[in-house]
Amino acid sequence: MKKSLPIWLIIIIVIETLPMFIGPYVAIFKPSLMPGFGGALGVTAPAILYAARNIAVGIAFILAFALRNRSMLFILILIRLITDLWDLPMGIYFDAWSNSTRAIIVFTLLYYLPALYALRYLWKQMKEEK
C-alpha cells in the first residue's frame, strides 16, 4: 500500500498544478490579458504551444497525484521548476506581465520555494524506499 502524502505536500501540488490550467485558459480565451502572447492579435501559435505544454504537464500532475507516485511527482515538480525558471525571465523580457516585481514575488513564493521544499522531501522519501 502506498503511503499517504502530507497535507502540506498536497497543497504544494495544488499550487503547482492550478496554473497549468488557469494559464492556458487565459492564453486561449482572454489573450488580451497576456500581451506577451500577442494580446490584441488574438490567439497566436505561442499561446497555443504554451497551453498545450501546460495542460499536458497538468494532466500528468493529476495522474501522479492519483497514483501517489513519489518519483513521478518529483520529476514533474522538477520539470515545473525548470520551466518556471525559463518562463519568468522570458515573461519579463517579452512584457507578458503588467508588473514585473509582482511576477518575481509570485514566482518565488508560490513556485520556486515550494517546489524546492517538495523536491527535498520527495528525494528523501525515494531514498528511504530503496
CA distance 130 to 122: 13
Residues with Cβ within 8 Å of 43's Cβ and at least 6 positions away in sequence, in order, are: 27, 28, 31
Say what the pTM is: 0.81
For residue 12, give the amino acid letter: I
Residues whose CB falls within 8 Å of the CB of residue 42, separated by 6 or more in sequence, listed in order: 31
Is residue 2 situated within a structural domain? no
For 16, other C-beta atoms within 10 Å of its C-beta total: 23
Minimal CA–CA distance to 54: which of 82, 31, 22? 22
Q: Is residue 110 part of a domain?
A: yes
The verdict on residue 1 lying in a domain is no
Q: How many domains does the chain have?
A: 1
Residue 83 in any domain: the answer is: yes
Judge whether 50 lies within some domain. Answer: yes
Per the domain annotation, does 40 fall within a domain? Answer: yes
Amino acid (1-letter code) at residue 21: F
Residue 26 belongs to a domain: yes
Q: Read off the C-alpha cell for 19.
A: 496554473
User: Would the CA dihedral through 76, 82, 85, 86 be positive or negative?
Assistant: negative
pLDDT (tens, 9 = 90+) of the chain, 130 residues, equals: 467 889 999 999 999 999 899 989 988 888 777 766 666 667 778 888 888 989 999 999 999 999 999 999 999 999 989 988 888 888 788 776 678 888 899 899 999 999 999 999 999 999 988 7
Instruction: State which residues form the domain around 113.
Output: 7-129
pLDDT at 75: 95
In a domain, 37, yes or no: yes
